[in-house]
Amino acid sequence: MSDSAVLLIDCPDRRGLIARVSSLLYEHGANILHADEHSDEVLGLFFMRIEFALQSDGLTMDLDNFRAAFTPIATDLNMNWSLTSSAERPRVALFCSRYTHCMNDLLQRWFSGELHCDIPLIISNHSDAQLLADFYGIPFEHVPVTADARAAAEARQLELLAANNIDLVVLARYMQVLSPEFVAQYPSRIINVHHSFLPAFTGARPYHAAHSRGVKIIGATSHYVTATLDDGPIIEQNVARITHREQVEDLIAKGRDLERSVLFRAVKLHLQRRILCYSNKTVVFD
Amino acid sequence: MSDSAVLLIDCPDRRGLIARVSSLLYEHGANILHADEHSDEVLGLFFMRIEFALQSDGLTMDLDNFRAAFTPIATDLNMNWSLTSSAERPRVALFCSRYTHCMNDLLQRWFSGELHCDIPLIISNHSDAQLLADFYGIPFEHVPVTADARAAAEARQLELLAANNIDLVVLARYMQVLSPEFVAQYPSRIINVHHSFLPAFTGARPYHAAHSRGVKIIGATSHYVTATLDDGPIIEQNVARITHREQVEDLIAKGRDLERSVLFRAVKLHLQRRILCYSNKTVVFD
Amino acid sequence: MSDSAVLLIDCPDRRGLIARVSSLLYEHGANILHADEHSDEVLGLFFMRIEFALQSDGLTMDLDNFRAAFTPIATDLNMNWSLTSSAERPRVALFCSRYTHCMNDLLQRWFSGELHCDIPLIISNHSDAQLLADFYGIPFEHVPVTADARAAAEARQLELLAANNIDLVVLARYMQVLSPEFVAQYPSRIINVHHSFLPAFTGARPYHAAHSRGVKIIGATSHYVTATLDDGPIIEQNVARITHREQVEDLIAKGRDLERSVLFRAVKLHLQRRILCYSNKTVVFD
Amino acid sequence: MSDSAVLLIDCPDRRGLIARVSSLLYEHGANILHADEHSDEVLGLFFMRIEFALQSDGLTMDLDNFRAAFTPIATDLNMNWSLTSSAERPRVALFCSRYTHCMNDLLQRWFSGELHCDIPLIISNHSDAQLLADFYGIPFEHVPVTADARAAAEARQLELLAANNIDLVVLARYMQVLSPEFVAQYPSRIINVHHSFLPAFTGARPYHAAHSRGVKIIGATSHYVTATLDDGPIIEQNVARITHREQVEDLIAKGRDLERSVLFRAVKLHLQRRILCYSNKTVVFD
């Protein structure tokens, strides 16, 4: 496939935004493949994602030229924006603890080409995932986390992330809570999976809580991590029916499939630059 | 279809319960159509539902004889139990306020034979459902509820329920909270629909809360009413996906379908005597 | 809500289409509320739906002026297109036979404001829906259809449709097959619901066929009617799980809910002008 | 967990079957954990699955004694039956071709304890799965299949199956059609996954066919293999929504998740002895 790029914008809503952006793209030789937009009428905000081919009709678009021409317009219209070429491969680090089902799922999909990224680093506070990391040829770093050495562990993790130029951190059932200071280093760039249908059953042991409450449907949620536990912008949720026959261990088993699916979906959407955050919510252009 | 009956049991678990009950039924000429059982291993409880035909092989079973023979066994084994013949039609009262979508759905299904019951009474604190009640030929009672005359209203409602020998009260988006005293009159016999995926978003305006939290799936829940608001045993839940494009009014529209489906399901399951309550949960033999 | 309009376009794909259309809309004072586009890369086709407000920033857009300016461009770019104002209410005729569950659902939703249309006509080959039509105050025409007088019946039906300026015909479980000549009068303007998951189980008695094959999921399909039975462009499908316990009559009961939901969805999407047809498929901008 | 056993029965329906079987189990000291039954009223057939603990109340049941006592009763009542102890671990062989996503999923779940079986053998007509087999320490046999040497290949496969005492063959996207002679060796013991919602889109390239027909939901189906292609008793089906935006390759990617889930479910249900076949359908006691 030929090269493409994605332009993501959010700004105060006003008439003519689509015309202005699409015209500029046209003038620079872009061929729009997908355009998607959303307005929040209450807040007066506008969101847009445009994916375009860099080659078409024998033309090749110069992305730097476009960027130079677009910057003053974006400033004028008060835009938050980003422009990313498909030639850049995001660099992802995976964190996990003892449960490796999410890790296994992500690695297998990545290996078979479903995730457009590099994975140069796996970090865990346990060694269970070592063999899996070896199988896929990914450097594995064991960083133990103890109650009285949490700060040191996070310092080591941040060092590893920096050394590997990591763009996105994926918590694949990483069972430690990250400090607000850590989270602040990677705003909207840490994705977690919580094993409940948020906002129900935040915190520890959600399957036990779901069983105790007698719900008939369980769920899992992937979200960006913020300073408040289990409270960040939700990216994806999925659910499964349960019956009175299913005990806590059955919920845990069924939940594993939900966790895998919502975490994979979130990572894929992020890598495809389909997510915008605002007001602690997400716009997902899928 | 010939007559049938349903035997519902819950009791402390012990070996041989199925053998004992099924043998007694066989001796009295019952032909078991469906048998379902469940054990809660943690609490050591046993639950059973047996549906059997009263006529088979040229025999007709005498339900009173069976009842007389079963009673001492049930006492001996510490059973809670009930025995109901399909010849008895439960009597149902519907409560509603201004929104009539659940009411319309239940009435249309009842009219077309999907609900095995009589509906001799509709009560509302508004008059919106009057025309619908007239269309289906069901007596409609307008009982206004004001903040300072709630007790009087409930007294009138209880009087109407008693006068009509009501077995089951269905709150079809009835927007008033019933007092614990009212609820105590109909234990496990008042079914409500709450317009959220409980335990998320209890209380008022759940669709607004769901929109504000940015969830990707909304839900509805039908449950038995207890003294604590939105906390009773859950009977049925259903969910629907939403996106960032959907505003609160879209959630409300989508939610109406969920509310209809979970309320209908709960009422049907109750009428078929498929629900047992324990520990603020339900066993649903479907 | 203020007035809005929808512009629907399909044409050969080429660079700059979005820029050109959105710029013209901007110049005429339109405020784009939603824009959606799709390209079929294999066939080289482009599809667009733009919904825009006619009033904004103190301006009022003149739709006729825009139409006049847009027409030569559309011709130049080989577009199929339509421009519809929200001020125009589509006129819908409902057809049914003996089963009234889909009819009841559509009428109840229409009555409560979920469908933006007028319904001036109900036609049936039976009289079962008469009472329902009366309740909602809609003229009901009983047009019997017999094997040897099908042509006469269709002539009468077409006469009624013409006399009522009908834009859309909805077959709400109408159990007669329409002739190709009838269908040709309303291309992409007759919506049917088939009670299976197409293309499985076309033709008569699909629930019997599903039960016989032992499927674990049943479905329903809404589609535009073409000259070939059960073969038109699919608009919406929905499914429900079943088990070995469910007999044909249970499938039929469960299927009624699926039929209701897919038919309602299709009618709503059509009325909101969210559907484009090509290659016997649909583009649904929802 | 202590030992348990499963008794599976199908026979002509008659009064008293549950009483007779459950009484005999009680007399031999069994403690019933789960009982499930089903009657096909049209065919007059009865199906039952009883799972019981071998130790309870300080008693240990002698399974051989029970078998000896049950055999004459079963003969008398014309039963097909099987009695299996949880102490026996079924032996499973996996077949695959080039796509390894189903294989990977099954192996990862097996490794983490979700499947109660041994997997002593993987057979493939390609070598893609070799590394995966090595990772999990499972013997891998490469058996190429060419058009003119199919019989020889099947002979080699059967030899390997026999040498490994295989109880169940799982076709994890094995892209070769097995001969009726091969299938006859393992009746109701070969499970396949077909990548469509059967009976729609049998045969090759079902995702292409689904895309071409313009369906809005795709599916996958696991089933027992019979002599007729894609026609055996269906065990499990699952579906996913698609839109006009999704091309064939997107359907293939989405379908992989469906294939994984329905194949895993089928294998798990089979291993738990929850499936009975009759009339080319399945009774699934889940």
pLDDT tens-digit series, residues B39-68: 998 899 999 999 999 988 788 899 999 999
Determine, for residues A15 and C39 on separate chains, whether the beta-carbon distance falls below 8 Å.
no
In chain B, which residue's Cα lies nearest the Cα of A210?
A: B199
Determine, for residues A233 and B245 on separate chains, whether the beta-carbon distance falls below 8 Å.
no
Q: Which of C115, C257, C265 to mutate to test the interface with B (most CBs of B within 10 A)?
A: C257
| pLDDT tens for each residue of A147-203 | 888 999 999 999 999 999 999 999 999 999 999 999 999 999 999 999 999 999 999
- The yes-or-no answer on residue D128 being catalytic is no
Determine, for residues B26 and D15 on separate chains, whether the beta-carbon distance falls below 8 Å.
yes
Q: CA B34 from chain center: how many Å? A: 20
* Distance between C102 CA and the closest CA of chain D, angstroms: 21
Is there a cis peptide before residue D12, judged by omega within 30 degrees of 0? no
Within this chain, do residues B62 and B113 fall inside the same structural domain, yes or no? Answer: no
| pLDDT tens for each residue of B147-163 | 888 999 999 999 999 99
Determine, for residues B19 and D16 on separate chains, whether the beta-carbon distance falls below 8 Å.
no
* Distance between A105 CA and the closest CA of chain D, angstroms: 8
| Residue type present at position D95 | F
Within this chain, do residues A152 and A166 fall inside the same structural domain, yes or no? Answer: yes
In chain A, which residue's Cα lies nearest the Cα of C56?
A: A15
Q: How far apart are CA A18 and CA C22, in angstroms?
A: 7
* Distance between B25 CA and the closest CA of chain A, angstroms: 25
* Distance between D33 CA and the closest CA of chain B, angstroms: 7
Contact list in A for residue D101 (CB cut-off 8 A) is 108, 112
Q: Which of A10, A105, A167, A230 is catalytic?
A: A230
What percentage of residues in chain C have a pLDDT greater than 90? 94
Confidence at residue A152, expressed as pLDDT on a 0 to 100 scale: 96
Query: In the predicted model, is pLDDT for residue C274 greater than 60?
Result: yes
Q: How far apart are CA B102 and CA D108, in angstroms?
A: 45
Structure tokens at B257: 């379908």
- Band of residue A56 on the pLDDT scale cut at 50, 70, 90: confident
pLDDT, chain A, mean: 95
Which residues from C are below 8 Å from B when comparing CB atoms? 34, 100-101, 104, 108, 112, 114, 131, 135, 253, 257, 261
- Label residue B103 exposed, middle or buried (CB < 10 Å: 0-12, 13-18, 19+): buried
Last residue of a domain, one of D85, D110, D130: D85
pLDDT, chain D, mean: 95
| Strand A4-12, strand A31-40: pairing | unpaired
Confidence at residue A147, expressed as pLDDT on a 0 to 100 scale: 85
Within this chain, do residues D103 and D12 fall inside the same structural domain, yes or no? Answer: no
Within this chain, do residues B189 and B68 fall inside the same structural domain, yes or no? Answer: no
Give the pLDDT mean for D146-164. Answer: 95
| pLDDT tens for each residue of D45-72 | 999 999 999 988 788 899 999 999 999 9
Confidence at residue C147, expressed as pLDDT on a 0 to 100 scale: 85
| pLDDT tens for each residue of C231-257 | 999 999 999 999 999 999 999 999 999
* Distance between A18 CA and the closest CA of chain C, angstroms: 7
Within this chain, do residues C106 and C32 fall inside the same structural domain, yes or no? Answer: no
Q: Which of A101, A135, A257 sits opposite D135 (nearest CB)?
A: A135
Query: In the predicted model, is pLDDT for residue C99 greater than 70?
Result: yes
Within this chain, do residues C81 and C95 fall inside the same structural domain, yes or no? Answer: no
Determine, for residues B217 and A237 on separate chains, whether the beta-carbon distance falls below 8 Å.
yes
Confidence at residue C61, expressed as pLDDT on a 0 to 100 scale: 92
DSSP conformation class of B173? S
In chain B, which residue's Cα lies nearest the Cα of A233?
A: B214
ipTM: 0.95
In chain D, which residue's Cα lies nearest the Cα of A242?
A: D286
Q: How far apart are CA D66 and CA D77, in angstroms?
A: 16
| pLDDT tens for each residue of B82-109 | 999 999 999 999 999 999 999 999 999 9
Give the pLDDT mean for D82-91. Answer: 95
Q: How many domains does chain B have?
A: 2
Within this chain, do residues C190 and C211 fall inside the same structural domain, yes or no? Answer: yes
Within this chain, do residues C183 and C45 fall inside the same structural domain, yes or no? Answer: no
Within this chain, do residues C78 and C128 fall inside the same structural domain, yes or no? Answer: no
Give the pLDDT mean for B256-283. Answer: 97
Catalytic residue list of C: 230
- The range of the structural domain enclosing residue A12 comes to 4-85
Q: Do C221 and C255 touch, CB atoms closer than 8 A?
A: no
Determine, for residues B25 and D19 on separate chains, whether the beta-carbon distance falls below 8 Å.
yes
Confidence at residue A181, expressed as pLDDT on a 0 to 100 scale: 97
| pLDDT tens for each residue of A129-159 | 999 999 999 999 999 999 888 999 999 999 9
Helix A248-271 vs helix A101-111: crossing angle, to nearest 10: 40
Contact list in B for residue C257 (CB cut-off 8 A) is 261
* Distance between C109 CA and the closest CA of chain B, angstroms: 8
Within this chain, do residues D202 and D159 fall inside the same structural domain, yes or no? Answer: yes
- Band of residue D190 on the pLDDT scale cut at 50, 70, 90: very high
- Band of residue D1 on the pLDDT scale cut at 50, 70, 90: low
Contact list in D for residue B26 (CB cut-off 8 A) is 15-16, 19
Last residue of a domain, one of C85, C111, C130: C85
Alpha carbon distances (Å) from C204 to C177, C217, D166: 11, 18, 44
Contact list in D for residue B19 (CB cut-off 8 A) is 19, 22-23, 25-26
- Band of residue C284 on the pLDDT scale cut at 50, 70, 90: very high
Coil, strand, or helix at residue C193?
Answer: strand
Spell out the residues 6+ positions from residue D48 whose beta carbon is closer than 8 angstroms to its own.
Answer: D7, D8, D9, D10, D17, D18, D21, D35, D36, D37, D38
Contact list in A for residue B213 (CB cut-off 8 A) is 198-199, 234, 281
In chain C, which residue's Cα lies nearest the Cα of B253?
A: C114
Residue of D88, D229, D94 whose CA lies nearest to D161:
D94
| pLDDT tens for each residue of B187-219 | 999 999 999 999 999 999 999 999 999 999 999
Query: In the predicted model, is pLDDT for residue D2 greater than 90?
Result: no
A/C interface, count of CB pairs below 8 Å: 48
Last residue of a domain, one of A54, A85, A116: A85
Determine, for residues A244 and B38 on separate chains, whether the beta-carbon distance falls below 8 Å.
yes
Q: Which of B10, B105, B167, B230 is catalytic?
A: B230
Confidence at residue D44, expressed as pLDDT on a 0 to 100 scale: 93
Q: Which of B112, B135, B245 sits opposite C135 (nearest CB)?
A: B135
Q: Which of C211, C216, C242, C265 to mutate to test the interface with D (most CBs of D within 10 A)?
A: C216
* Distance between D10 CA and the closest CA of chain A, angstroms: 24
Q: Which of D10, D105, D167, D230 is catalytic?
A: D230
Q: How far apart are CA C197 and CA C217, in angstroms?
A: 9
CATH assignment at residue D23: 3.30.70.260
Query: In the predicted model, is pLDDT for residue A242 greater than 70?
Result: yes
Within this chain, do residues B259 and B200 fall inside the same structural domain, yes or no? Answer: yes
Query: In the predicted model, is pLDDT for residue B1 greater than 60?
Result: no
Determine, for residues A198 and B215 on separate chains, whether the beta-carbon distance falls below 8 Å.
yes
Give the pLDDT mean for C197-215. Answer: 96
Alpha carbon distances (Å) from A47 to A43, A77, C20: 12, 13, 20
In chain B, which residue's Cα lies nearest the Cα of D285?
A: B36
Contact list in C for residue A48 (CB cut-off 8 A) is none
Give the pLDDT mean for A31-41. Answer: 92
Within this chain, do residues A182 and A61 fall inside the same structural domain, yes or no? Answer: no
- Band of residue C59 on the pLDDT scale cut at 50, 70, 90: confident
First to last CA, chain B: 20
Determine, for residues A233 and B214 on separate chains, whether the beta-carbon distance falls below 8 Å.
yes
- Band of residue A52 on the pLDDT scale cut at 50, 70, 90: very high
| pLDDT tens for each residue of A73-122 | 999 999 999 999 999 999 999 999 999 999 999 999 999 999 999 999 99
In chain D, which residue's Cα lies nearest the Cα of A135?
A: D135
Confidence at residue A1, expressed as pLDDT on a 0 to 100 scale: 52
What percentage of residues in chain B have a pLDDT greater than 70? 100
Structure tokens at D261: 């889930």
DSSP conformation class of A148? G
Q: How far apart are CA D82 and CA D77, in angstroms?
A: 14
pLDDT, chain C, mean: 95
Query: In the predicted model, is pLDDT for residue C1 greater than 60?
Result: no
In chain D, which residue's Cα lies nearest the Cα of A102?
A: D108
* Distance between B152 CA and the closest CA of chain C, angstroms: 32
Q: Which of B237, B244, B281 sits opposite A38 (nearest CB)?
A: B244
Contact list in B for residue A39 (CB cut-off 8 A) is none
Give the pLDDT mean for D85-92. Answer: 95
Residue of D116, D77, D79, D67 whose CA lies nearest to D274:
D116
